[in-house]
A and B are shown apart, each in its own frame.
Chain A
Amino acid sequence: NAGVTQTPKFQVLKTGQSMTLQCAQDMNHEYMSWYRQDPGMGLRLIHYSVGAGITDQGEVPNGYNVSRSTTEDFPLRLLSAAPSQTSVYFCASSYSKARREAFFGQGTRLTVV
C-alpha cells in the first residue's frame, strides 16, 4: 500500500492563478479530508468527504473547491490563488467512524506570490 499520496510536493503560484492539488489513497477509506497547516495554528480543516459524491465544508473553506467522484481520489482546487493561501496542505483519510484515526500524506508546500 502506498497510503495517502499527494502531488505535487512543492508549488509556486502567481496571485490569481488556479491549480489542483491531487490526493489519492489506496486503503479503501471512506473518509477523506484536506487541512492547511500554518505556524502556530495547528491544522485547520478545509473540506472533507464521507464518501464518493459527498463533500462538506470545514473550518476554512473559502477559496477552495473539492469533489469526490471516486473513493480513491479527493482533489483540492484553488480557484484564484491569493498570498493568504500560502501554506502547507495535507490530505488525510480514515477508514470509518469506528476507526477514525487519520492517515496523512506528505504534504504540499504552496507559495503564492
Chain B
Amino acid sequence: AQSVTQLGSHVSVSEGALVLLRCNYSSSVPPYLFWYVQYPNQGLQLLLKYTSAATLVKGINGFEAEFKKSETSFHLTKPSAHMSDAAEYFCAVSAQGAQKLVFGQGTRLTINP
C-alpha cells in the first residue's frame, strides 16, 4: 500500500531564506510523485511532478524537488522564499499500476517579513 509522510505540519521561514518541505513515501513499485499547493479557500494546484524521467524536477514559481529512491524521499525546495509562497503544500504519491493519489497530511508554510 502506498503512503506519504510529510515531516512538519508547519514550517516558518524568513523572506529570502531557503524553503525545504520534506516528503517521504512508501510504495511497493516505482511511483509517480506530486507536489500541490493550496492557497486559502482555493483548490489544489499542481506545482510539479515526478514520472520516472529526470530525478530533479522543476516546477512553477521557482520550486523544485529531487527524487531520491534510496531515501524514498521527494523533498520540495525553493532557494529564496517570497511572501506569496505562504500556503499549504501537499505531497502525493500514485503507484505505477493505479491512478489513485494518496496525499500526505500537508505542511503549512509561513513566510516572515
A interface residues, Cβ below 8 angstroms from B: 4, 31, 33, 35, 40-45, 48, 50, 58, 90, 92, 94, 97, 100-107
Contacts and interface: CB of A to CB of B under 8 A. Distances in A.
A39 B99 CA distance: 24
Interface residues of B, number: 22
Contact of A42 (B41, B94, B99, B103): B103
Interface of B (DSSP majority class): strand
A42 B105 contact: yes
20 contacts: A4-B43, A31-B99, A40-B9, A40-B105, A41-B105, A42-B105, A43-B90, A45-B100, A48-B99, A50-B99, A90-B43, A92-B101, A97-B99, A100-B32, A101-B46, A102-B34, A104-B43, A104-B44, A106-B43, A107-B42
A4 B46 CA distance: 14
Interface of A (DSSP majority class): strand
Given A41-B105, A100-B94, A90 B44 contact: yes
A42 B100 contact: no
Contacts of B99: 31, 48, 50, 94, 97, 100
B45 interface: yes
B43 A107 contact: yes
B82 interface: no
Nearest to A105: B43
